Amino acid sequence: MKQFKELEDFIGTHFIYTYDNGWEYEWYAKNDHTVDYRIHGGMVKGRWVKDQEVDMVKLTDGVFKITWTEPTGTDVALDFMPNEKKLHGTIFFPKWVEEHPEITVTFQNEHIAEMEAARETYDTYPKLVVPEFAAITYMGDAGIDNEDVISEEPYDGMPSDIREGRYFDENYRKINK
């Protein structure tokens, strides 16, 4: 198994993880300042995002913190410990996302204006704070800026297809189905 120490070891890695509450996420450290992700379970299942700007740092050997604010107003803080196959995430959902999660269940990049409009229309406070540990169930070395990693909307069974080698070829390119 790959050992993570420096930020350079972490960047380019593709993860699937399941929070203790059952929510399943897929997340890709695309480069040192952007991530792509898909949500496969939980309150906003079906949402996917490319090129989310983030702050990504090494806290100590093998431990990495990634933080960002989405156009929805949702704030996210993730602490990855890939050598232990776990992470801790805290998601700060605005009140409107808790009350209208269906608005966010889309390809965000094509609906930024709708996210911003909802953020201005509905209540943002009090925020729903969801702090959870997660088990990392998949780690793949996708390389930096691989546009095939998160390139389509999530579907039922996608995480299993990825984990069981039915989604990417040996060069980490999406297999056409």
Count of domains for the chain? 1
Q: Exactly one of 17, 25, 28, 167 is catalytic; name it.
A: 25
Q: What is the pLDDT of residue 176?
A: 74
Residue with tokens 């939980």: 42
Token pair of 8, please? 């350079």
Query: Among this protein's residues, is 98 annotated catalytic?
Result: no
Phi/psi region, residue 59 (left: phi>0; alpha: psi -120 to 50; beta: rest), is alpha
- CATH code of 158's domain: 2.40.128.20
Find the domain containing 104 and state its range: 7-164
Residue 69 belongs to a domain: yes
Q: Exactly one of 24, 26, 28, 70 is catalytic; name it.
A: 70
Whole-number Å distance between alpha carbons of 123 and 23? 24
3 state SS of 104: helix
Query: Among this protein's residues, is 70 annotated catalytic?
Result: yes
Residue 172 belongs to a domain: no
**Residues in a beta bridge with 27:** 15, 37
Sheet holding 63-69, edge to edge: 48-53, 34-39, 24-28, 13-19, 128-141, 86-93, 75-81, 63-69, 55-60
pLDDT, average across residues 130-156:
97
Does the pLDDT at position 66 exceed 80? yes
Specify the pTM: 0.96
Residue 1's pLDDT band, with cuts at 50, 70 and 90, is confident
Residue 171 belongs to a domain: no
Residue 1 belongs to a domain: no
Q: How many CB atoms lie within 10 A of CB 134?
A: 22
Residue with tokens 């450290």: 29
Token pair of 142, please? 């996708």
Residue 176 belongs to a domain: no
Residue 177's pLDDT band, with cuts at 50, 70 and 90, is low
Residue 46 belongs to a domain: yes
Residue 65 belongs to a domain: yes
